[in-house]
Amino acid sequence: MKTDSIEIPKINFDENGALLIVASESSSKDDFDFFQGKSVIRNKKLKQRFTNSNEWIEFPSTQEMYKILNGIGNIDNFLATFDGEPFEGMTVRLFNPKTKLWSIYWADSNAGILDKPVVGSFENKVGHFFSKDIYEGKNVIQVFRWDARDEKNPVWSQAMSDDQGKTWEWNWYMYMTKTE
């Protein structure tokens, strides 16, 4: 299954420039059930962003996810080694039953802080989650895509746009294989 062929949904802004994100009709607290348990991951990360680079760094990692908060949230840990040093990341995902939107927060062993969340939902086993951010002093919009059409081999990917979503640069792919 080719994940690049999936279109990024058009993004909309309110009168103050804030992202307008509306949940899909099918959005539910069970959207991430496919990811429970352990996975091995083949990562493919763009070496430099916004430089028209097509040089990629590849590395292995592992991940384990479990549900929290009576099923309206989950946490995972991401373990890898960079330049011989251990690296750990964690994701906290929270489902708001009122808005039916997921908020996804990231923290890692380099910074020790929770990043601003990306927010969104799944439709037809593909989830898109957006946020405004700053990358190297530049205002960007980022999107996380979860492609769970093959639940045993989901793909996570990340893209950024520096032109309000007109164009996107994919900068990280995680090809996962469930191990338990």
DSSP secondary structure string, 155-175? Answer: EEEEEEESSTTSS-EEEEEEE
Token pair 């890692």 in the structure block, residue = 108
Task: Place 5 in a pLDDT band, splitting at 50, 70 and 90.
Answer: confident
The domains of the chain, with CATH numbers, are 3-29+38-48+56-178 (2.40.128.20)
Mean pLDDT of 4-26: 90
Share of the chain above pLDDT 90, in %: 92
Closest listed residue to residue 68, CA positions, set 92, 89, 99, 102:
92
Please tell me the pTM assigned to this model.
0.93
60-70: pLDDT as tens digits: 999 999 999 99
